[in-house]
Structure 1
Amino acid sequence: MSRWQVENIGVDIGAHAIALRRGAQRTTLKAHGGDWAALGAELTQLLPARARLLVRVADCWSRTFLLEPPAGISGLRDCRLLLDARFETLYGQAPADWLLQADWQADAPMLACAIPRGLRQALAGFSLARVLPALLQDWNRHCAALPADGVWCAAADGVVNLLLWHKARLQLVRQQPGQDVDGLLALELARLGVALPAARFWSGPAMPAGWTQLEAGA
């Protein structure tokens, strides 16, 4: 590769390891346990300065949630204030420590996500093609091919994810630590007063009978 050519490199930040993808080459690094400055320093040593990174952030390090704007809200500023308030309510953490983003719209539920601000700062020396939570990346990858009604359960990196949609619109996005997919699913279906959809998708080990495997990962 020419030294002037930009190289796309995948960086998968997992719970216990970091995987670098350079074409067919795969390299595994030890995770830094949320020490983003140390991660940035190691990547700076290992990767070429002209690298363009495609970063996948495990759900244990990122947040993905649904934001439902109340009637009458208008304007991006109001949506951002609502996003900050919703994040703090859900996670009990200061929004200032995170970078929050959403698919901004005032008349429908918005899919929102957050990554640690320290992680983004650690990657500031690189060109970034994308930095996405794992759940959001997988949803973007599959959503167009999914049926109009369905449920998707995924367990990875010590986090349970649950997404429920009806008429091609998300109704629910939930994340919680642990591996109790069954418990989370039963709780949320009862709370919403809805039945388990016929189209059921699963990512992770021990897939139950009657579910369809949905591939997760970069």
Structure 2
Amino acid sequence: MRRSFGQSLRIGVSGSGVSLLRVSRWTGEPVTVLAEQAIAPSGEHPFDAIANALRALLGEHAGANTLGGWPTSIVLADDLARMWRVTPPPGAARLADIEAAAGFRFQSLYGEAATAWQISADWSATQPFFAAAVPRALLAVLRVVAQEFKLRVVGIEPHFVSAWNRWRRGIKPGAWFGLVHDNLLTLAAIEPDGKGIRAIRVLPLPGAQGADQYWLSQTLTREALLLDMAAPESLQVCGAAPAAWSKPPANAACIACAALDHAQQAPAGEMSAMVLLARGGSLA
């Protein structure tokens, strides 16, 4: 597969499947779905199952036309990662201090040591920050497969992190941020000063058309009360959000919602959950 200027690959990885996209920033189709591969559940060796599915997926497009050298971003389903808020200890002055605080908080929340996880964060010694962790064993198999196909991996991120990094600069004052994927709303409650995230909540969407404007407004109001915050003025959302959310509010009690990736909504309904995962925070 010959690469043109501005093209790259995006790979979506979950416990149930993997997907491969080609994105083009300058010419041709912005997003081309190359392949998807389901994964047979494996309780004993889940990461090996992911690696084997990736080999089958990439093998369809390697052959004589190597993928070697293609810049590749890997987006992980959020259930493969962990995200949590860290408060730096008083008097923290070194990176080692706040790394230790993140590890202790991880152990407190999840009941295991953080040694088997790779932790990344916007480290700060003066204010709370969020950290994300990915299993080192998963990262190892992803890197092995990438080396086998000579891919140039430019990033490996959880889905929420990928979307947040893409859209964070577009969040308006008074708004919260949301990502909708696979019938889940990952909600980021933004600090009143707009300088960070107070909390991240993962909420299932009700079925049978229940995720309407009223449900969304009630959910945002409830989460704000639980966090001792004022309800947001609006929600800015990306992903496969229900179309009803972006309609003009039905009444004054409804909280307005705006799609950040409105231009991408039309084809989104034609894409599978795995393709939408790989698309993640892509600029295309």
TM-score band, normalised by shorter chain: 0.7 to 0.9
Aligned to 2:195: 169
Q: Say which of 41, 44, 49 aligns to 1:38.
A: 49
1:143–1:2 distance in 2 versus 1, CA, 3 Å = closer
TM-score, normalising length: structure 1: 0.82
Q: Distance in 1 between matches of 2:233 and 2:203?
A: 26
SS at match of 2:92: coil
**2:227 partner amino acid:** L
> In 2, are the aligned partners of 1:14 and 1:157 still within 8 Å (CA)?
no
Q: Distance in 1 between matches of 2:107 and 2:201?
A: 15
TM-score, normalising length: structure 2: 0.65
SS at match of 2:37: strand
RMSD: 3.0
SS at match of 1:211: strand
SS at match of 1:169: coil
1:163–1:10 distance in 2 versus 1, CA, 3 Å = same
1:75-133: CA deviation from partner (whole Å, max 9, x where unpaired): 11111111112222333344223211111121122231111222101022224210001
Q: Distance in 2 between matches of 1:121 and 1:33?
A: 19
Matched, 1:190 2:198: no
Aligned to 1:11: 11
Aligned to 1:149: 174
**2:169 partner amino acid:** A
Aligned to 1:99: 118
Larger Rg: 2
SS at match of 2:169: helix
Query: Unpaired segments of 5 or more residues in structure 1?
Result: none
Higher mean C-alpha displacement, 153-162 vs 58-67 = 153-162
1:116–1:136 distance in 2 versus 1, CA, 3 Å = same
Q: Say which of 143, 150, 158 aligns to 1:133.
A: 158
> In 2, are the aligned partners of 1:66 and 1:112 still within 8 Å (CA)?
yes
Counterparts of residues 85-96 of structure 1 (less than 5 Å): 85-96=104-115
Q: Distance in 1 between matches of 2:142 and 2:123?
A: 25
Higher mean C-alpha displacement, 40-49 vs 84-93 = 40-49
Q: Which runs of 4+ in 1 moved over 4 A?
A: 180-184
SS at match of 1:12: strand
Aligned to 1:179: 205
Matched, 1:22 2:33: no
Higher mean C-alpha displacement, 76-85 vs 65-74 = 65-74
**1:78 partner amino acid:** D
Higher mean C-alpha displacement, 174-183 vs 127-136 = 174-183
> In 2, are the aligned partners of 1:18 and 1:29 still within 8 Å (CA)?
yes
1:59–1:159 distance in 2 versus 1, CA, 3 Å = farther
1:28–1:39 distance in 2 versus 1, CA, 3 Å = same
1:187 shift after superposition: 4.3
Aligned to 2:93: 74
> In 2, are the aligned partners of 1:64 and 1:175 still within 8 Å (CA)?
no
Aligned to 2:237: 202
Larger strand proportion, structure 1 or 2? Answer: 1
Matched, 1:211 2:257: yes
**1:106 partner amino acid:** A
SS at match of 2:196: strand
- Percent of aligned pairs sharing the same letter: 21
1:115-160: CA deviation from partner (whole Å, max 9, x where unpaired): 1222101022224210001101111101112223321233324644
1:196–1:68 distance in 2 versus 1, CA, 3 Å = same
How many residues get paired? 216
1:38–1:90 distance in 2 versus 1, CA, 3 Å = same
1:12 shift after superposition: 0.9
1:170–1:32 distance in 2 versus 1, CA, 3 Å = farther
1:124–1:153 distance in 2 versus 1, CA, 3 Å = closer
Aligned to 1:122: 141
Q: Distance in 1 between matches of 2:125 and 2:260?
A: 30
> In 2, are the aligned partners of 1:200 and 1:212 still within 8 Å (CA)?
yes
1:151-170: CA deviation from partner (whole Å, max 9, x where unpaired): 12333246442212222212
